A and B are shown apart, each in its own frame.
Chain A
């Protein structure tokens, strides 16, 4: 489609005009995005309500506040992050300027997801803008109201040439992926993640893939079950379970199994009342395709609580599953819905073994008082991120990189990690043409004498302390002077 070519071409021409180089310009764009959010809060809440039955409060908490915080952070830190980053020099370059210069990559493609349609499209956009790139944004067509609103609002607030929004489904995305980008960020599932990376490979485009997986949640026996169940229920049933870092399933100690089920039931009632369908705080499944998919996962397990559904209104009740076999359907794919399977283990080692037999998840949760046990779990498993004794909170800390590993993704973002992800880190060495005497050791014709000098100048020694490095620095300078005096060549 020529349209895609034109869109990307426009963004590239705008990038090449260098207007996004100026930090002032980038800050203005970020401030404009902030205005977009504050001036359209109601319309955003309305779109999210239509797409996911999300209420106003949840919109604030899960979509708006995080973005506003990120914008404030970027505005505060941009000058610092965009500045050259000096690095340690070696003897040969003691007199030179050595630093890493973050630079924009060029034209970035951001493919958003439908479950948090604003934050998962706009948070990467913020990072890409801050790093000085042009952006083509492709919000998810599945959350159609949010996508339409993003398409309408972005050109009203941001530079129309540098930042383009493309709407559409599989066909449009496939066309878009034929174009050459300088970075692609995709949030979604592993299957499409592979397709995105393969398309990126044709142009050698680096990718950040925020994927998913089954995030395990281990509960140790000596915990305050009330608090634990509340935190897990919150993480699981927010957005009707449609969160990439929702606790997917529970592994709990056998001895507390019954108590956990009871407390979870009570917590669900506390949160959503006897009939969650009537609760204004309970979302809906995005569409009937996913309703069918999630319902098919019930097969083979026992419904300990919930299980009600209404396909027409995309409603599935918060549901607890027990008697779950590790090989059942619900344990084979990421649930991404309000089903919470509970499996039992005899001890923490069994839990670790269970987790390690599966793909590395995006998040891992462990509830335990014993710091030693927590340390053990962190040391012996792997995941994108970890929150111990709570769920999802690690997402909110912008000083922590948010991303997956293995099947749950590659790369990371949030805060400075966003800025760095969308930047090229250029290695810079600024020398002068002086000190040529030192350089002469490296020119042919070679000689054993020259080799000796070079070894003296650049050989590193094992286990030299910091003081030793200072000494070596002084020695190096002395050697350089000696060489000039001895007039090697």
Chain B
């Protein structure tokens, strides 16, 4: 097995040879990626089941389909994206040619997370390939079946000199980070994000950090409570709550809460039946460490529905907590699990002040039929992305830059 240094050197040599420069080469790799996804759907679903007990229904949509669409988008637009961008000239340069040329950086490092272990590592990878870079993929060791599968499949479909998969944990990642890369793309937690950026600074390597946060969800009295409950519940409990842009907590008045909680309870039964542990459509917590972390958060506030746990099964029931205070443990960290706290506020101003007291989140949600309320929250807060009257859907738009909050 090659050492990290050897892999990085091989990729750099391949990049310097110029082979990734042509559109033909890049399209060939992208089409090969598409074939990889088409020909191995079964194996991908199986790996996701083993890692997260991810229901096929979820895997097909949020992992396979999403990734395929990203590849197709790149294939369809590559020629356009690669073209030089001609710009407006000054008087002095009227007779000259002025343009912005898109160039690959060189060798990119892409570090993936465990919650969507296929999609969240392949989507940036597709971008790197389309832009003409060589790339090392470092999928998460916390989702070992998915990582193992990627390390087997990628070399079968893609140019082995230009693209490599390196598996491993903290030790291997630290070794990788000692090498010089021309771009580092990291998806994961804030704490590791800082470590990545510090390591990148030593080589002046630009980084993209897709981190997380507590995504607030403000529910106004004017909304259709039933539809609202469906959309929030779907987004919260998808992948057992292990989604970076899931609504983390709800802010609403007591009056709204009194309608929302029963609506959520009905939803949960609609989605997962009377005993969610038996539902085929509910995943599981990734590992014991996170299970224990989440179990400790259940003592915040009061359980309105759910709260059951099964350690052996890494199962935590979809749970709604009420009477939650700002100082409670569940409000101190990104939940990343199937727990939805509801915090009472008097009015929209209090909700906005609450959101602004905390770090800028990756996503921010507002449910209201009143456009003024939506615009008010939008203008007076900041977040990576924003969606009104739904959750997560802003991520499905390929042309909407999935800009991130840095913290």
Contact = CB atoms under 8 A, between A and B. Distances in A.
Contacts of B201: 194, 197-198, 200-201
A67 to B, nearest CB: 15
Nearest to B406: A204
B385 A426 contact: yes
B20 interface: no
Contacts of A194: 201-202, 204
B200 A197 contact: yes
- Chain A interface category by residue count: 35 or more
Nearest to B230: A443
A429 B393 contact: yes
- Chain B interface category by residue count: 35 or more
A90 B397 contact: yes
Interface string B180-214: 00100000001001100110111010100101000
Interface in A401-460: 401, 405-407, 409-411, 424-433, 436, 439, 442-447, 450-451, 454-455, 458-460
Contacts of B92: 393, 396
B234 A399 contact: no
A379 B99 CA distance: 13
Interface string B378-395: 111011111111100110
A203 B380 CA distance: 23
A100 B69 contact: no
A410 B203 CA distance: 12
B228 interface: yes
Interface in A155-202: 182, 190, 193-194, 197-198, 200-202
B386 to A, nearest CB: 5
A369 B367 CA distance: 62
Contacts of A430: 374, 387-389
B157 interface: no
A399 B61 contact: no
Interface string B93-117: 1000010110101100000000000
B287 interface: no
Contacts of B223: 433
Interface stretch (A5-13, A274-282, A461-469): A461-469
B402 A204 contact: no
A443 B394 contact: no
Interface stretch (B82-90, B140-148, B307-315, B342-350): B82-90
A427 B386 CA distance: 6
A193 B204 contact: yes
Given A100-B401, A446-B281, A439 B204 contact: no
A427 B400 contact: yes
Contacts of A400: 87, 98, 100
A436 B227 contact: yes
A182 B359 CA distance: 12
30 contacts: A92-B393, A93-B397, A98-B400, A101-B378, A194-B201, A197-B197, A201-B198, A201-B200, A202-B198, A204-B190, A204-B197, A396-B90, A399-B88, A399-B98, A426-B403, A427-B401, A428-B394, A428-B400, A429-B397, A430-B374, A431-B390, A439-B230, A442-B61, A443-B230, A444-B55, A444-B57, A444-B271, A459-B68, A459-B69, A460-B73
Interface of A: 18, 21, 87-90, 92-93, 98, 100-101, 103, 182, 190, 193-194, 197-198, 200-206, 209, 211, 356, 378-380, 382, 393-394, 396-401, 405-407, 409-411, 424-433, 436, 439, 442-447, 450-451, 454-455, 458-464
Given A427-B394, A460-B76, 15 more contacts: A87-B399, A88-B399, A93-B396, A194-B201, A204-B407, A394-B98, A401-B100, A426-B403, A427-B385, A427-B386, A429-B386, A433-B223, A436-B227, A459-B65, A462-B76
